Structure 1
Amino acid sequence: MHSNTSRKFANLRSNKGSNLPLSALTCLLLAASGAYAYTEAGVSGNTSSWESAEYKKDWGLVSMNASTAYALGFNGSGIKIGVMDSGVLLSHPEFQDGRIHTVKTIGNYSKNGMRYPDAALGNGPIDKNQPVKDGKRNFNKNDNGVFKKGEAFNGDGSWVRGVNDAHGTHVGGTMAASRDGSGMHGVAFGAQLYSANTGGNDNMTYGPNQDYNYFLKGYTALADAGAKVINNSWGSNRRVNSSFAGALGYKPTYDWRAVPEYDVEFYDVTVANQTTAAKDHINLKDMNEAKKAYYQFVTSGEKSFLDAAYEVAVKRGVIQVFTAGNRSLMAESFTRAALPYFRPDAEDYWINVTGQTGADGYPNDSSAYIRGYKASSDIQEFNLAGHSKWWTIAAPSSGIYSAYVELTDNATYGKAIYKSSGGTSMAAPHVSGALGVIMQRYPYMSMPQIRETMLTTARQRTLRAGHGAGGMLERWGSDGEGVPSNVWGWGILDLGKAMFGPGQFLGNFDITMNQNDIWTNNISDVAIKFRKTEDDSDAAAWAARKAALNAKSNLSAEEKAEMTFETAREQARAARVAEGYEGSLTKRGDGALTLAGDNSFTGAVNIYGGKISALNQSISSSRSINVHNGGEFEVLNALTYQTPSAGGFVSTTKASDATQVNAVINAGGAFVVNDGAHNLNLTFKEGSLLKAALLSNAELANLAANPTLKKTINASGNFAGVNLAKVEDSYAFFKTAKETVSGSNLALSLQKGKSMEEVASTSAEKSFARLVEANPSSAIYSSMLGADRNTAAAYFGAFSNDLDFKAQNNSAIDSFMLANSVKNKNGAKRADIDTGVELWLLSSASRVTSDNSAGGRLGTNAFTNLVGVDFLVGDSSKAGVFVGLGKTNHKLGDSKAVKSKDAHAGIYGDIGLDPIKISLGAIYSKFDQEKRVVNSYAPLAYEYKDADASAISAFAQIAYTGLSYENGFSLEPYAGLTYIHSKNDDVANSLVQVKNEDRDLQVASVGIKPSIAFTMDGVGLIAKADIAYNRFLGDKTPSAHMNVTGLGATKLEGEKLKDLATTELGIEAAFTRNFRVGLSYVGAYDSNVKSNGVNAKFSWAF
């Protein structure tokens, strides 16, 4: 929704160069400059390095402190955000790096309606016959964009000539345009942007006339694409002409409006006159008028776009970002932005955006719209937040420079240009882009928490120099700092501050985080406490109104709607009552959260997993801290952390104050004793734990070098029940003990414990451990020294090659089982074959799991398809060949240790010497593999490397076939030998080099095959089984030589293959003399390995 500034600024001189588009030629040259390679000048930690000319093209990025996020490495990368608007011009230079996508909107209209009910007043579709007239856009005043129920629609999110304007391109640019050294760039220039098309231009009014199903399909397509934020800047305010009966009109008077807080005068609306003129926009001068506007969406019995937006938000967990409207001094935001007032369950997924003024040079700009060309920064413009303040934020809305489409020149119509535009339409995409960056910053937060973090970190003080510097934003109101304003909502978007944690808790902030993080913002709960006063007032008013409505025998449609939404508001208030109007924190997951702000939230802190570390002043305001089973709590004496600045990262050291921390450590919960921690009031329950805080590497190295030396860690305070707590080691290679336990002092000691070799569990791990301990000056030794047991296990797993050894063993078993499947492929009888040729297909799927403790449980999934031909030789012998393809994945948890594409070829034959049968064969298998290999140790990280493998299998088996009985039952005892030669390519990167040794395995087998033949409904069936014991001989243990950069070389050995029991149970059906189908289960078992699979066989005899 663009701002209509033509009247507002008609008598003001424009700034030179403002609102002037770049030429189409310039854009074409930019697009054609593919040879130009952009080199990013931004440096980690240095905010000024990100503030390039491209960055400064949008003063909004300066206002929202975006360079802080960029300097921390966050730009929306890996995040998907969506826009519903008038299409994106995909040929624009700003959208050429593969991050911009469109979605399809396909379906049928759900009702009769129109896109442009105010076309006669100039808000119509583009005139397709004459889109440009007198150098201006030309709209058709006689076309309302009517659609009929049941009519089909089919479109995508790209810009469509004759249908769309430049609005969606401009908005999309602000959200996610490329940072490439030219033009401008979007807020989330690393995000994936998905575009849906409204099917029109920005003249579409956002009233009940817009179709439910059209927007449902569009919003759903965006959600299906993965977008968790949808920007809605599209459309225009409703007019009296097409609104509800009795609607009031809005007619502004423009003049110099005093802004006393800044000692300036702003040229803006000074009076919002009340009219009834059909051409005027509706005037939501108070909540009563806002309610009337809402009733039109719910009393007709037909759903609209608003229901579609609401349903996708609450059902799909998507944040809908809407614009407040472009009517300065209007007391309420328009209906779509205000929806959570009427449907409170949408509040967690809704954001209303109002406008903030500024210009190039912000915050010390010089603007023609301020008397005397003073700075225009930080003045609110357009619709006020009003009763929507709890989900409203202000963002840059004036003179926003972004991508655009040429629409006023017939010769270059539709070409890519740049242009400045204003309005809340331009404010909203700053917010949507910021949400994308915040999502990347906090992958562990839910979407409501992402939203809450953005809102509660909004800036409520001005950055203006001179008068008003550092003071509250103009017209903030009397409710105080931290409480949303009726004018501004939460304040001005501050993306930089949002990088450092929430600013407030608005209830229970329940997070599951499996990574480490630090929140340095000051976290309060002043807003939710204030909301109680509003809720109490609303509850009293509703009680009286509810009684009056209940006294009526018949309610009007509007009164029924009022009863519905007020009941929902009553339930929402009850939920806040149940939470106690306080901010609280619940921590789950394995990660560690450090709190470093001067926090004042008063609710409970519950720790169910991972660790919370905090300065005294960061957590002492909490009414109760509860550490539950699996959780850890640590109070810090001091903390040093880094933040970005104009000159690079700067370190801040902050000491704990003297406020008292009260906590209860429950069974299974741990208190981590930090040296110097003080003013503690702790209660320990039976089964609670004590752990020592982490020491520096220098301290640990000193302890490791001096096994008799102890490091004592002291904390002071009150420790009730501390004797009930057990000491648990914090480290894998150091032991912890109680030294002093008293009412006011708690001391633990740390001392050298088990060696790395003693902690390692497998032969390969122990080999690696010996190598590390032989190099105490190495970086890997230093990284491992402070590891806990889980981290130490991860190091051992990364460098022991155990996963690859397990994969090799599983592959050996798979090769053996493949040979068995070929041996057990019974051919047709001579009497059933006319030509002596039989074609067969064999498909198998199997899973092999290794259950020993070395590095976790490895699962191997193998899929194989073989096709072969049998040739009869005489009456009782045969020979055959086959080829096949397959796929094998060796997985540890959710990650693939080895992934492989397989190819097989083989020959085989049976020699019949009744009653003896001899089976012979050979199989060659090639495995095109990618193996997971460690490539970094601080932190541990992996890459996939190509490392092919091959196996040659040969088998010989002798069986006795003379045990056949008249009832169709037979037994076939057998003995066999299988030889497997396997070879694995070497693997190397800059950190490790692994040379695998070839293996020669033999498998001696003895078994028996019972079977019984019978018929059912005329179909010949054979039920059969194969039960065998298999003994491995030869190179049962896989081995390799590994060299680690900085350590040296060692030999590694994996787990030894153990003897296997194998079984096959199946049934075969002969549907005709020539066509047979078989299905069987195959399995292999030892104490560590389990293999289960299914074979399906099809054969045709000719």
Structure 2
Amino acid sequence: MKPQILQKTALALLVGWYAANAAAYSEQGQAGNTKSWESAEYLKDWGLTSMNASTAYALGFNGSGVKIGVMDSGVLLNHPEFQDGRIHVVKTEGAYSKDGVRYPDAKFGFGGLNKEQPFDSNGKRNFDKNNDGNFVKGETFSIDGGWHKGINDAHGTHVGGTMAASRNGEGMHGVAFGANLYSANTGGTDNMTYGPNQDYEFFLQGYSQLAANGAKVINNSWGSNRRVNSAFAGAKGYSTDSASNYQWKEITEYGVAMMDIANITETTNEKDVMYLKDRGEAAKAYYQFATQREKSFLDAAYEVAKEKGLVQVFTAGNRSLMAESFTRASLPYFRPDAEKYWVNVTGQRGGDGYPNDETPTNKWWSKYYDYASGSYGAASSDIQIYNYAGDAKWWTIAAPATNIYSAYVHIMNEDDYGAVNNDNYGSPIYKSSGGTSMAAPHVSGALGVILSRYPYMSADQARDVMLTTARQTTLRKGLEGKPLERWETEQGVPSNVWGWGILDLGKAMFGPGQFLGNVNINLNQNDVWSNDISDKAIKARQVEDQAEAATWTTRKAELQALMQNRAGATAEEKAEYQVGLAREAARNERAAQGYVGALTKNGAGTLTLTGNNSFTGAITVNEGQLSGLNQSLGSAQQVIVKQGATLEVLPKAEITKPSENGFVTETLTSTAKTVTATVEKGGRFLLNNGIANVNATFADGSILVPNKFDEEILPQLQQDPQKVVSVQGSGSFVGAENAVVEIPRTYDFLTVKNESNANTLKVTVQKKALASAATTENEATIANTLDAATNSPAYQNLVLGTEENARQAFARLSYDEDLAAQQHNVLNGLLLRQQLAQPGAVRAQLNTGTQIWTSGTFTHFSTDSLSSHAYNQLVGIDATIDTNKHLGVFVGSTQNSHKIDRTSKDRAVHLGLTAEHRFNVLTPKIGFIQSWGKHEQRAEFAQGVKSHSQTQNVFAELAYTGLKGEHFAIEPYAGVSYMHIKNKGVTKGEVQLKDNNRDLIVTSVGLRPSIPFAIGGVQLNLLGDVAYHRFHKDKAAEGSLVINNQGVANLYGKELKNVVTTGVALQAQFTPVLSMKVGYQGAYNHDTKANNVNAELRFSF
């Protein structure tokens, strides 16, 4: 697993976001440090503390890159919280689709603002009882999402602030302070009711514009609960207007009591709020929408959500003890296909200092009593308020709903802001407000942050993450970890009061908490889900579905009978029938799925699971890689690995999370939980050493991949080339021995074997000898030396390489050309020695005292692909001691040029002595040559380096001179020479060329014919020489390479076993003291050829 995926993502996002805003505000928040994000601005909204938002911010997620929408009474664009370019308005334009009103309850004081006098003499909002906001079918409308004086109240500004107000050091900041917020206008105030009276076309255009601009979430806090006046026929209500409705209500789980609606008396008063006391009343409220012939705002919200795949967030309603949420929030109960696109938000109490807030004692309707201390002012934290989740529990979440501080518009007398008048009306201020209207934007903002955390998720998948990570326990002091009050179900199953529980944005950063069916993730990045993932809720829903199905069977038959009767069913019964069929279809779909949490992994990225998971459905890996601990994968029915996909079971994993002091890393170890897997043809199983409790079936053509090949396996082989490295795990396996082993790339010098059996997955890796790539003995020697030099960089690289890499390395270390060049130099010395000898009979005629001579020779040598050129220049003196004795001395130099793909040069200087003594017909000759050489190294490893050598050459010859006549002479001879060659070593990098001594003996036999003749008075001699030479002792040139002070490679050139030399020359004596000779020499054996031309000038005195 990659342990710091979230940390790296956090840093990248933080840099991008805050670089753009650095000029305006210097962010003090630090990556990984939650406390650093909990600034005074953060603490202004206690809801951020409750929802653990600082964890998300410390990870780098704040909604950046995500677009969220709000449908409400406009956003005050000149408010300081909306000045960083992230707040946008959309224009709602079109024509009304029906006749209707915005404010059906206007006569009770819940109408639109009085356009002539929007505030009264007391500075209060002046709602016009005669302004019902009527509209006519075909009438055009056009309004943008900004705040409009005389039309809008401050509600939309407050909601927008909670969602996305800037983190700029002023006032407060929104949950998703990095998101782009798009605002659409309802065209009214919060007095607009959520009823069928609202126009379909108006809201369709508004929602569509938000969607067209990319909003993935739309917050709907706008509007008020319907009253009996505008409710369905026969609706009952209850009053909340007087103190008589409030009594002490005990919260026994927390040991406190609160003043709240305690007892409800049903009324038929038109002004009272519609009372949804049970599912039946909630259904009647929905049928009011379903039975009218015209669509409403609900249809618009539903259609846009389905078409665009976005999430609509609605409020449950602001009525305590009401068993059901209002229709807009509970719509998916009646239209089940809307569920994945819907969120219902109920209220959570709290205040400044959460979770240990102190409540006011001077307001009778908000008074709390602590039984333990016997005093008022007890904390209100984590007490549910307003409408229960009811049948909407499967898509309900609770969020901060009381004392919420946010941006506001000055439209009435406010504490600390002075009396309102025409000058300050509409100016930006801040204010605390309450209600589910304040809870919903916490949820919508949180969804924006979650979508920035999971850019690969759809909006409904982000919704599921939020719901399934909700907190179902309290943070109240002394009760931490206890279930929330009135939590009537087991943990993990939604409550009729709370729904899924309290929004926990921090936990949502670490993956889903449950799978609510099959979760299909298309992941093209790497991610880690460390939350414990269960499927407890979907299993509990099966029980509910079965009970409902039993009831529906009877009711379905009744409704069908009614509709078959000529009298027919009522409109409500028809609506009930359609709802029943839709719910039946939804149940059947869940039943077909199996009521299990399952995971399908698509996309090229790697998803790592590290939680102690308990979901029971299958995991299908279609693409990319799925990694997990045993306890993360073992509860699944099985893991199915498709062609091209990879499964990895982890022995351990590191999880990095933020804390008050910075990132903290925890190491988790796999448990004994058994993982069951099937690896299909072309699927991969990534084998980690030490895994256990894996039951896997491998199909023919499946692939077994030893993990951490480069990080763990190769270093072991590099250090110990004789070692057999194995990667293995235990369990129960079928077909594993036939799986194809795959390693990251081709390694020609590694032998990889699958040694798996029924109880063991095992891959062994062993290094092959580098010599397997050698094509010559010297390459094999170099290869064996490299194998011994395990610390050598050259060796380290070759273990990872191919045969071609090895051949390149052999070429770099090859000394063959230098060895061949040495042989050329030996032959050059042999030819020089041959030139120094002349036929004795002829020389006797020429020698008339002391001679000074000089000679030049140009020779071309070729051996295999090496070509050399040698130029020799000698100057000498031959002195006659007496008639039969001669002594010579000479000096000279040689320059050799050797070439294949580049040219290198050798240079040498020579000092020599020769002597001969004629005895009648026998002439012995002896000589000595001392040479000093300087050589450019041809080997690639030593390019640019020069070495030195010394050669001592002692030679002797015995010639027979008795075969001669007046016009012809032939001189047989035999000779022997001894050469001692000392080459000095050089060092470059990790390679050292050692000093080398070579002893070479050459025995020779030959004939030197000569024919004297004269032309035009010039005495001429045609000279010849043909000889056979045999080499003894160190016939091959040798070089010893030391690699990294570990291994020695003794390299040898081709042996010089024998060679034939030939020569022909024409000597002319122009005067008694001046002679000149020009000639040709050659040397030949089976793989070397040499040809030279030479000239000599002699002066006798």
TM-score interval, smaller chain: 0.5 to 0.7
After superposition, the C-alpha distances for 1:744-792 in whole angstroms (9 at most, x for unaligned) are: 222223568999xx9xxxxxxxxxxxxxxxxx999xx99x99999xxxx
Local SS of the residue matching 1:273:
coil
Tell whether 2:726 aligns with 1:712.
Answer: yes
Q: Residues 519 and 595 of structure 1 are in contact (CA less than 8 Å); yes or no, is this contact kept in structure 2? A: yes
**2:543 counterpart residue number:** 533
Q: Residues 767 and 799 of structure 2 are in contact (CA less than 8 Å); yes or no, is this contact kept in structure 1? A: no
Tell whether 2:317 aligns with 1:325.
Answer: yes
Matches within 5 A, 1:650-729: 650-694=664-708, 697=711, 700=714, 703=717, 711-729=725-743
Picking from 169, 191, 207, the partner of 1:181 is: 169
**1:405 counterpart residue number:** 409
Amino acid at match of 2:451: M
Matches within 5 A, 1:279-678: 279-368=271-360, 369-371=367-369, 372-408=376-412, 409-410=420-421, 411-466=423-478, 468-477=479-488, 479-552=489-562, 553=565, 554-678=568-692
**2:76 counterpart residue number:** 89
Picking from 44, 52, 65, the partner of 2:31 is: 44
The count of corresponding residues between Structure 1 and Structure 2 is: 731
* 1:737 CA displacement: 2.0
1-structure distance, mates of 2:425, 2:647:
63
Picking from 750, 754, 759, the partner of 1:744 is: 759
**1:238 counterpart residue number:** 226
Q: Residues 272 and 330 of structure 1 are in contact (CA less than 8 Å); yes or no, is this contact kept in structure 2? A: no
2-structure distance, mates of 1:666, 1:696:
26
* 1:443 CA displacement: 1.3
State percent identity of aligned pairs: 61
2-structure distance, mates of 1:151, 1:732:
74
2-structure distance, mates of 1:560, 1:785:
78
Amino acid at match of 2:514: Q
Q: Residues 737 and 755 of structure 2 are in contact (CA less than 8 Å); yes or no, is this contact kept in structure 1? A: no
Local SS of the residue matching 1:272:
coil
Q: Residues 693 and 730 of structure 1 are in contact (CA less than 8 Å); yes or no, is this contact kept in structure 2? A: no
Q: Residues 686 and 705 of structure 2 are in contact (CA less than 8 Å); yes or no, is this contact kept in structure 1? A: yes
Amino acid at match of 1:625: V
Amino acid at match of 2:595: Y
Q: Do the aligned partners of residues 55 and 732 (structure 1) sit closer, same or farther apart at CA in structure 2, a change above 3 Å counting?
A: farther
Q: TM-score, normalised by structure 2?
A: 0.65
2-structure distance, mates of 1:104, 1:753:
73
After superposition, the C-alpha distances for 1:868-900 in whole angstroms (9 at most, x for unaligned) are: xxxxxxxxxxxxxxxxxxxxxxxxxxxxxxxxx
Q: Residues 692 and 730 of structure 1 are in contact (CA less than 8 Å); yes or no, is this contact kept in structure 2? A: no
Q: Do the aligned partners of residues 37 and 105 (structure 1) sit closer, same or farther apart at CA in structure 2, a change above 3 Å counting?
A: closer
After superposition, the C-alpha distances for 1:797-850 in whole angstroms (9 at most, x for unaligned) are: xxxxxxxxxxxxxxxxxxxxxxxxxxxxxxxxxxxxxxxxxxxxxxxxxxxxxx
**2:1074 counterpart residue number:** none
Local SS of the residue matching 2:635:
coil
Amino acid at match of 1:683: T
Local SS of the residue matching 1:271:
coil
In structure 2, runs of 5+ residues without a counterpart are: 1-20, 361-366, 370-375, 413-419, 774-790, 803-1101
* 1:742 CA displacement: 2.3
Amino acid at match of 1:112: D
Q: Do the aligned partners of residues 474 and 146 (structure 1) sit closer, same or farther apart at CA in structure 2, a change above 3 Å counting?
A: same
Q: Do the aligned partners of residues 181 and 296 (structure 1) sit closer, same or farther apart at CA in structure 2, a change above 3 Å counting?
A: same
* 1:426 CA displacement: 0.3
Picking from 86, 99, 103, the partner of 1:116 is: 103
2-structure distance, mates of 1:396, 1:127:
32
* 1:129 CA displacement: 1.5
* 1:700 CA displacement: 4.8
Amino acid at match of 2:684: A
Q: Residues 597 and 615 of structure 2 are in contact (CA less than 8 Å); yes or no, is this contact kept in structure 1? A: yes
2-structure distance, mates of 1:79, 1:680:
41
Amino acid at match of 2:389: A
Q: Residues 633 and 670 of structure 1 are in contact (CA less than 8 Å); yes or no, is this contact kept in structure 2? A: yes
Q: Residues 321 and 387 of structure 2 are in contact (CA less than 8 Å); yes or no, is this contact kept in structure 1? A: yes
Q: Residues 70 and 181 of structure 2 are in contact (CA less than 8 Å); yes or no, is this contact kept in structure 1? A: yes
**2:154 counterpart residue number:** 166
Q: Do the aligned partners of residues 785 and 559 (structure 1) sit closer, same or farther apart at CA in structure 2, a change above 3 Å counting?
A: farther
2-structure distance, mates of 1:786, 1:270:
77
* 1:712 CA displacement: 2.2
Q: Residues 220 and 440 of structure 2 are in contact (CA less than 8 Å); yes or no, is this contact kept in structure 1? A: yes
Once structures 1 and 2 are overlaid, which stretch shifts more, 697-706 or 650-659?
A: 697-706
Q: Do the aligned partners of residues 655 and 341 (structure 1) sit closer, same or farther apart at CA in structure 2, a change above 3 Å counting?
A: same
Amino acid at match of 1:382: Y
Q: Do the aligned partners of residues 751 and 256 (structure 1) sit closer, same or farther apart at CA in structure 2, a change above 3 Å counting?
A: farther
2-structure distance, mates of 1:686, 1:436:
46
Once structures 1 and 2 are overlaid, which stretch shifts more, 699-708 or 246-255?
A: 699-708
Matches within 5 A, 1:211-226: 211-226=199-214
1-structure distance, mates of 2:159, 2:466:
20
Q: Do the aligned partners of residues 239 and 604 (structure 1) sit closer, same or farther apart at CA in structure 2, a change above 3 Å counting?
A: same
After superposition, the C-alpha distances for 1:978-1019 in whole angstroms (9 at most, x for unaligned) are: xxxxxxxxxxxxxxxxxxxxxxxxxxxxxxxxxxxxxxxxxx
Q: Deviating runs (4+, > 3 A) in structure 1? A: 34-37, 695-711, 730-736, 749-755, 784-788
* 1:270 CA displacement: 1.1
Q: Do the aligned partners of residues 202 and 777 (structure 1) sit closer, same or farther apart at CA in structure 2, a change above 3 Å counting?
A: farther
Amino acid at match of 1:258: E
In structure 1, runs of 5+ residues without a counterpart are: 1-33, 759-775, 789-1102
* 1:624 CA displacement: 1.6
1-structure distance, mates of 2:401, 2:769:
63
2-structure distance, mates of 1:696, 1:422:
59
2-structure distance, mates of 1:257, 1:275:
22
CA RMSD in angstroms comes to 2.4
2-structure distance, mates of 1:549, 1:578:
26
Matches within 5 A, 1:875-914: none
Q: Residues 517 and 594 of structure 1 are in contact (CA less than 8 Å); yes or no, is this contact kept in structure 2? A: yes
Q: Residues 697 and 785 of structure 1 are in contact (CA less than 8 Å); yes or no, is this contact kept in structure 2? A: no
* 1:143 CA displacement: 1.2
1-structure distance, mates of 2:642, 2:208:
40
1-structure distance, mates of 2:463, 2:508:
10
Q: Do the aligned partners of residues 399 and 753 (structure 1) sit closer, same or farther apart at CA in structure 2, a change above 3 Å counting?
A: farther
1-structure distance, mates of 2:718, 2:499:
57
* 1:299 CA displacement: 1.1
* 1:316 CA displacement: 1.1
Q: Decide which structure has the larger Cα Rg and report it.
A: 2
1-structure distance, mates of 2:610, 2:492:
19
Q: Residues 691 and 736 of structure 1 are in contact (CA less than 8 Å); yes or no, is this contact kept in structure 2? A: no
1-structure distance, mates of 2:319, 2:135:
29
1-structure distance, mates of 2:87, 2:557:
54
Matches within 5 A, 1:962-973: none
2-structure distance, mates of 1:787, 1:584:
43
1-structure distance, mates of 2:769, 2:330:
63
2-structure distance, mates of 1:787, 1:286:
74
**2:1063 counterpart residue number:** none
**2:114 counterpart residue number:** 127
2-structure distance, mates of 1:578, 1:373:
52
Q: Residues 68 and 217 of structure 2 are in contact (CA less than 8 Å); yes or no, is this contact kept in structure 1? A: yes
